[in-house]
Amino acid sequence: MEHREATVTPLTEIHSLKAEEWEAYREIRLRSLSQDPEAFGSTFEKENAFPADFWQTRVADGARLPHAHPIVARTGDAWVGLSWGWIHPDEPTIAHLFQMWVAPEARGRGVARMLVDSVIEWARVRGAAKLLLGVTVGDTPARRLYERVGFVPDGSPIPLRPGGELLEQPMVLRLEPTDRLPRSRS
Ligand SMILES: CC(C)(COP(=O)(O)OP(=O)(O)OC[C@H]1O[C@@H](n2cnc3c(N)ncnc32)[C@H](O)[C@@H]1OP(=O)(O)O)[C@@H](O)C(=O)NCCC(=O)NCCS
C-alpha cells in the first residue's frame, strides 16, 4: 500500500521582538529596505552601514520600553513580516506605526492585517487616542490595506525623504476611547 506523508503548513503567528533577536531583526529589516525601497523613509544604504551595537540597542530598547511595540510575523522558523509601534513619551496619546513589511512569499494571506491589528490593540491599551502612519502616495497594496482597516488621510502629502521626489500621505486611525484601559490616578 502506498504511504503518503502528511504535509502540515505551519501557522503564521505574531510575537514581540526580544532583545536577543537583534540579528534576525536586522536581517528582515534590511531585506524590507532592499526589496521595497520606495515604501520607506529610510534606505538600505543608510541602515546597512549601522554597526552591530546600533541594532542591539534598537532592539533592546524596543523590547524593554513600554511605549514601543516591535513585532514580527513568523511562519514556523521563517520571519515573514515586521511592524513597529511607537509612542513618543512626550505625546502619550499619539501612537505611530512604522516599518510595516511582509515578505513577498507571504503576501495576500492576511499577515499585514494581523500586524496592524496587533499595533492597534497595543495603542488602545496604552491609552492612545489615535494611530498615525505615512504611506507612499499611489494605488498600492499598502494604501489599500490601511484604508481597509479604517485609516483616513490626515493632511496633505509630504516628501518621503528630504529633497526626494516621492511623497508620503499621512494617515490617521482614531481609536475608540471606550476600549482604553482606565488611567491610574496620581
Ligand atoms: C502592504 C503589505 C504590508 C501588505 O501585506 P499582506 O500581508 O499581503 O496584506 P494582507 O494579506 O494582510 O491584506 C490585508 C488587506 O490589505 C489589502 N491588500 C493587501 N495586499 C493587496 C493587494 N495586492 N491587492 C489588493 N489589496 C491588497 C486588502 O484589502 C486586504 O484586505 P482583505 O483581507 O479584506 O482582502 C505588503 O504588500 C508589503 O510589505 N508591501 C511592501 C512594503 C510596504 O508597502 N509597506 C508599507 C509601508 S507604509
Pairing of strands 78-87, 94-102: antiparallel
Q: Which residue has a Cα nearest atom 28 of ligand 1?
A: 145
Domain extents in the chain: 12-179
Write the class of the CATH domain 12-179.
alpha beta
- Tens place of pLDDT for every residue, the chain, 186 residues? 455 566 676 799 999 999 999 999 999 999 999 999 999 999 999 999 999 999 999 999 999 999 999 999 999 999 999 999 999 999 999 999 999 999 999 999 999 999 999 999 999 999 999 999 999 999 999 999 999 999 999 999 999 999 999 999 999 999 986 545 555 443
Contact 21, 59 (CB under 8 A): yes
| Ligand 1 and 135: CB distance under 6 A | yes
Residue indicated by cell numbers 514556523: 76
| Ligand 1 and 86: CB distance under 6 A | no
Report how far residue 135's alpha carbon sits from residue 98's, in angstroms, rounded to the nearest whole number: 10
